Amino acid sequence: ETGVTQSPTHLIKTRGQQVTLRCSSQSGHNTVSWYQQALGQGPQFIFQYYREEENGRGNFPPRFSGLQFPNYSSELNVNALELDDSALYLCASSSGTTSYEQYFGPGTRLTVT
């Protein structure tokens, strides 16, 4: 059984650019949730994907978008990057939408300059 993996580990982008972050869910899991963790803060929920459909969204603008693929891996896309988008982006996978057994990946550290 493989755990949750994320790529890349680190990323540096310039303000205004676009970025795609990737997440592979744990074997047997069909739900992926994405979180933004700013430095010194707790993670904030961005959105969740269940069986390739968005299943809930936090307080993030539309330039944050996502996808889930038939193998339940997922992408987080951020357009028009802003300096405040600099953060650790975590994904978590679970089985079903009742996500009290979420398993987190190691995160992608995004720096926007």
Partner 1 sequence: AQTVTQSQPEMSVQEAETVTLSCTYDTSENNYYLFWYKQPPSRQMILVIRQEAYKQQNATENRFSVNFQKAAKSFSLKISDSQLGDTAMYFCAFMGRDDKIIFGKGTRLHILP
List residues near partner 1 by CB under 8 A: 33, 35, 40-45, 48, 56, 58, 88, 90, 92, 97-107
SS3 state of residue 85:
helix
Q: Collect all residues with Cβ–Cβ distance below 8 Å to 4 and sequence separation of at least 6.
A: 23, 24, 25, 26, 91, 92, 93, 103, 104, 105
From the CB of 60, what's the least distance to partner 1, in Å? 12
From the CB of 26, what's the least distance to partner 1, in Å? 13
Cα(44)–Cα(58) distance, rounded to whole angstroms?
8
From the CB of 69, what's the least distance to partner 1, in Å? 21
Nearer to partner 1, 83 or 100 (CB): 100
Nearer to partner 1, 9 or 14 (CB): 9
Q: List 104's β-bridge partners, or say none.
A: 92
Nearer to partner 1, 66 or 105 (CB): 105
Nearer to partner 1, 79 or 111 (CB): 111
> Contact, 43 vs 35, CB < 8 A?
yes
From the CB of 32, what's the least distance to partner 1, in Å? 13
> Contact, 88 vs 109, CB < 8 A?
yes
